[in-house]
């Protein structure tokens, strides 16, 4: 009975050693694309049309359709102004913005810096993931801060997380995201993630940084726990097994 109990204790400890240190599998829906993180080289999209020539990845299609339908049912007029973009499409938008800033008298270098705060450099746009959409109030299509005062945007800011979407570039977060306040750009991350991020009050970069810190702490604790568990196992083995068995 004693030997069986000791065996179970050793087995349980050995099994427990690896649990805290095991890192959670990366969540693809939280893929970070921003000025410092490009779209993964192996990224692929499964595009589905949503009307008016717009397309999104199939993964977010149902959530997007439900969100737009709910917004309309609430008496509003949402209109998708931009959706999935290819690398070439993003490049064209960016270069057009660079030319605009150069027309204001900026140097090539400064024009590119200014343009990048408004239109993402090709390869760093969430639109290339197929999970981002620009949604405007159909009564006001201009992409400026006035968009935030429109009934459609007020509803979306309050409810988009319920359908798995984040207001990706919220007010006051430009220094973190590297992008100006855009009260029209919504990014799909899945409903569970959207709820967690919305309730945290953080933007995606901040949320992922906090999660990384938690994983780092969890990993450190796991290593310490594993070392202690191994020591306990060694002590138990030495105290319970015959000396002849312990000899090499």
| Separation between Cα atoms, residue 115 and residue 192, nearest integer Å | 33
pLDDT above 90 covers a percentage of the chain that reads 75
Mean pLDDT of 40-49: 97
Mean pLDDT of 78-94: 97
pLDDT score of 237: 46
| Separation between Cα atoms, residue 29 and residue 204, nearest integer Å | 11
Give the residue from 116, 114, 117, 122 showing the smallest Cα distance to 90.
Answer: 122
pLDDT digits (tens, 9 = 90+) for 124-162: 999 999 999 999 999 999 999 999 999 999 999 999 999
Three-state DSSP state, 43: coil
| Separation between Cα atoms, residue 87 and residue 97, nearest integer Å | 16
Mean pLDDT of 11-38: 64
Please name the residue that has the structure tokens 């953080």: 202
Alpha-carbon separation of residue 193 from 19, 211, 221 (angstroms): 23, 12, 25
Active site annotation includes 162: no
Detail the DSSP E strand segments found in 143-212: 165-169, 182-188
What's the pLDDT band for 234 if we cut at 50, 70, 90? low
And the tokens for 72? 């309309």
Average pLDDT, the chain: 85
* Other Cβ atoms closer than 10 A to 162: 15
Q: Is the pLDDT of residue 7 over 90?
A: no
> Considering 182, 199, 206, 209, which one is annotated as catalytic?
182
What's the pLDDT band for 8 if we cut at 50, 70, 90? very low
| Contact in structure between 84 and 45 (CB atoms under 8 Å) | yes
Q: Dihedrals φ, ψ of 149, to 5°?
A: -90, -5
Burial of 126 (0-12, 13-18, 19+ CB in 10 A): buried
Q: Is the pLDDT of residue 244 over 80?
A: no
Provide the β-strand partners of residue 78: 137
And the tokens for 202? 């953080």
């Amino acid at each position: 009975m004693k030997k069986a109990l000791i065996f179970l204790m050793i087995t349980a400890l050995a099994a427990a050693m690896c649990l805290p240190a095991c890192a959670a599998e990366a969540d693809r829906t939280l893929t970070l694309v921003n000025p410092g993180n490009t779209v993964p080289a192996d990224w692929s999209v499964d595009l589905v049309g949503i009307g008016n020539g717009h397309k999104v990845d199939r993964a977010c299609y149902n959530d997007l359709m439900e969100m737009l339908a709910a917004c309309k049912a609430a008496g509003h007029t949402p209109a998708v102004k931009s959706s999935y973009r290819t690398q070439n499409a993003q490049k064209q938008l960016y270069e057009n913005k660079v030319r605009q800033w150069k027309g204001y008298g900026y140097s090539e270098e400064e024009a590119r810096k200014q343009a990048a705060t408004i239109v993402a450099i090709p390869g760093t746009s969430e639109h290339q993931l197929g999970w981002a959409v620009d949604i405007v109030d159909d009564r006001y299509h201009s992409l400026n801060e006035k968009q935030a005062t429109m009934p459609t945007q007020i509803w979306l800011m309050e409810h988009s997380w319920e359908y798995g979407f984040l207001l990706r570039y919220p007010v006051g977060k430009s220094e973190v995201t590297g992008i100006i306040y855009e009260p029209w750009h919504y990014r799909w991350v899945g409903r569970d993630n959207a709820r967690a991020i919305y309730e945290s009050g953080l933007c995606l970069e901040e949320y992922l940084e906090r999660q990384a810190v938690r994983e780092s702490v969890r990993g450190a604790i796991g290593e310490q726990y594993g070392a202690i568990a191994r020591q306990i196992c060694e002590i138990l083995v030495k105290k319970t097994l015959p000396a002849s068995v312990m000899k090499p």
